[in-house]
Chain A
Amino acid sequence: MTATLVVVQPGLHSTVQDAGRFGAQAFGVPVSGALDLDQLRLANALVGNGAGEAALEILHAGPVLEVAAPSVRLALAGFDATLVVETGEGRTIPAWRSVVLKEGERVRVVASRRAACVYLAVEGGFDLPPVLGSRSTYGRGRFGGLRGRALAVGDRLPLRRERASERGDLRYPDPPAADNGPLRVVMGPQDDRIRPESIADFLGADYIVGAAADRMGLRLEGPALAHVNGHDLVSDGIAWGAIQVPGDGRPVLLLADRQTTGGYPKIGAVCTADLPRAGRLRPGDRVRFTAVAVEQAQALRRAHEAWIRRLIAGAVPADERVIDLEALYSANLVSGAVSGFEWDDAGVALE
């Protein structure tokens, strides 16, 4: 029988996403992919997958999944998110570590209170066919992922591996913390279509993420921005993180499922080092923008890349005893001390 994860409860919006669908934007096909590529990559690294392997992206409220395979290794990325095993005696597994679950175990993904999206990676990835080179779900086009849509009750997510490998579990001793600093923006290419006082407003004011927030983009509430010569533009291409200013002057920050082209002036685009932070914004969150030059944005990206590589290289063996969070809190072992456990003590072997 095929190894699967059975969807007992689907969560609010859980989709299969990888690092995105490239090469078909000229045909009008959005890139899609994970809203937060950092967390996707960090979750994948914990289970030994490549950075861009498809994982489950979980928005706001998590699913309940049952293991229909001899065993499966999972890892959750996402700040304070947790996995709660609801079968047997029950146990809570924190984010930022891998864990092996056995056949018949049911696990609830408790999403983060600090991020819109969290990522659940499975060792070996999901056995789903790539569409136009990617396993990312594109809902509007109804393709990619699992039947081109979000998870529904009774779905079975096919696993490429029959059982977990013997490689042992890993964790990040120093996982990333939420960062609410301003999003850095390269101004343009159509900032000349926005009035100078509106540019000052954009860079000086607090914006609030509106309720109309999805994988396509975020509407931002705050000072309305005034156009020069109206808001109609001959449609042109849209990059990830572009900030469009439609007729009502309320900026829209475009994310993974953005259209490939659009006809509103773009005041700027969030730099790639900050896109993961933009992707995890939730309705009601406060956002500020600050302008950087393109060269500076590229230097930030290189530094960001170095940071995430260090983080991944710093993963250490995870001890089974780490799993019980409550026991950890009561023993005050959450930081530091756990790294003192020896690999051999965990009873897991490397391949």
Chain B
Amino acid sequence: MNGTGWPRLLPQGDAALVVELGDGIDREVSGRVTALADGMRRAAIPGVVELVPTFRSLLVHYDPLVLGFADIAGRAGELLAGLQAAERRLRLVHLPACYDEELAPDLADVAALTGLTPREVVRLHGSVDYHVYMLGFLPGYPYMGDLPEPLRLPRLTTPRVRVPARSIAIASAMTAVYPLESPGGWRLIGAVPVDLFDSDRDPPALLQPGDRVRFQPVERAAFEDLRAAWAAGGQTLSVEEVAA
């Protein structure tokens, strides 16, 4: 358990149960959240509608005409108690990333604010394997951490009205990719050529909570070729299975 006071099993309305396993951003807590989600999925409890894993909690949507709050909280509590630190295999996803200045409107500012050169910012951003904590905000939007300390900056004071789809973004300890064009306040330092979300794909999101992601720098010409291949439906992503 992460400190005292957890887990907390709380109602959110009469059709959702929150299982809180901590209050911060922590890979160990995140791992327990995904493990609980896996366990509940396997348990296939009638009346459970769907599960939404987030940084530090699992939201269990259920049908209150089938399950009472005490029933679902009881089942979740049992599963939690029996949770094994199972030997998990992780997916390591290699995401091509282009940091060309045309695709990175905030790269120069990030360099200036951190006292680094743009080249160092790019090197640092690609220097670690990120953990996908959760998807949210937009379909397929991955919250990935942890960003190397020197790159941690607050969000833009004034969010952009339009962030282009596939932009690589950073804010505090997180990095993400905008799957769709959307308003957004994170700082944009590059772009990926791949579609993180496609409603016709199963599963629709490229990344799943618990995945590891490694950004692989590519030059602009290679980026454009990959983009054209993805737009044409040819998927060329490298994914390997690794030990946790």
Residue positions of A touching B, CB distance < 8 A: 22-30, 131-132, 140-144, 186, 188-189, 234-242, 259-262, 266, 268-272, 294-295, 297-298, 300-302, 305
The CA-CA distance from A30 to B137 in the complex, in Å, is 9
15 A-B residue pairs with Cβ-Cβ distance under 8 Å, sorted by A, are A25-B52, A26-B50, A27-B139, A28-B137, A186-B12, A186-B14, A234-B24, A236-B54, A237-B59, A259-B138, A268-B13, A270-B13, A271-B14, A294-B11, A297-B14
For B, the interface residue count at a CB cutoff of 8 angstroms equals: 49
- Residues of the B chain whose Cβ atoms lie less than 8 Å from the Cβ of A142: 180
Number of CB contacts from chain A to chain B under 8 A = 151
- A22-B49, A261-B136, A272-B64 known; A236+B14 contact, CB < 8 A: no
Of all chain A residues, which has the CB nearest B14? Answer: A297
* B193, chain A: closest CB distance, angstroms: 20
Q: Which of A25, A132, A189 is the one whose CB lies under 8 Å from B12?
A: A189
- A188-B10, A271-B13, A298-B68 known; A236+B135 contact, CB < 8 A: no
B18 sits at the interface (CB 8 A): yes
Across the interface, do A236 and B57 meet the contact criterion of CB distance under 8 Å?
yes
Of all chain B residues, which has the CB nearest A273? Answer: B14
Across the interface, do A237 and B52 meet the contact criterion of CB distance under 8 Å?
yes
Across the interface, do A29 and B180 meet the contact criterion of CB distance under 8 Å?
no
| Apart from A27-B203, A29-B204, A234-B55: 16 A-B pairs, beta carbons within 8 A | A22-B49, A26-B52, A27-B140, A28-B135, A28-B197, A140-B182, A186-B14, A237-B12, A237-B54, A238-B59, A242-B12, A259-B138, A260-B135, A261-B52, A269-B11, A301-B65
The CA-CA distance from A26 to B8 in the complex, in Å, is 21
The CA-CA distance from A260 to B65 in the complex, in Å, is 22
Of all chain B residues, which has the CB nearest A261? Answer: B136
* A3, chain B: closest CB distance, angstroms: 26
Which 6 interchain pairs have the tightest Cβ spacing? A237-B59, A261-B136, A269-B13, A297-B14, A239-B16, A27-B205
The CA-CA distance from A140 to B179 in the complex, in Å, is 12
B230 sits at the interface (CB 8 A): no
- A270-B13, A297-B13 known; A235+B182 contact, CB < 8 A: no
The CA-CA distance from A28 to B178 in the complex, in Å, is 12
Across the interface, do B13 and A272 meet the contact criterion of CB distance under 8 Å?
yes
Across the interface, do B54 and A301 meet the contact criterion of CB distance under 8 Å?
no
B209 sits at the interface (CB 8 A): yes
